[in-house]
Amino acid sequence: MKNEFPKAKIFLVVMTSANWSGFPDDNKVGKQYFSLSSKWPTDITEENIIKTIMNPIENLFKIIIMNAKK
């Protein structure tokens, strides 16, 4: 991949950390590693959605757009 696209940046995005330990204390969280929710999707409700969001996907989109401008 790097040979064909040397400027490519790799991101890791998981839907939920409900079934694994996530990225404990890694400084790449929210910058390169994203765990979107702390709950399984079927357990998310309107009442708990704000507390459920871990790393908003919008931050990833912002990073991609900023890198595309370079």
Residue 39: pLDDT above 80? Answer: yes
Other CB atoms within a 10 A radius of the CB of residue 34 amount to: 21
In a domain, 22, yes or no: yes
In a domain, 6, yes or no: no
In a domain, 7, yes or no: no
pTM of the model: 0.78
Q: What's the alpha-carbon Rg for the chain, to the nearest Å?
A: 14
- Cβ(18)–Cβ(38) below 8 Å: yes
The number of domains in the chain is 1
Q: 51 or 1: which carries more pLDDT confidence?
A: 51
In a domain, 5, yes or no: no
- Containing structural domain, residue 16: 12-68
DSSP 67: H
In a domain, 4, yes or no: no
In a domain, 56, yes or no: yes
In a domain, 30, yes or no: yes
Q: 62 or 70: which carries more pLDDT confidence?
A: 62
Residue 56: pLDDT above 90? Answer: yes
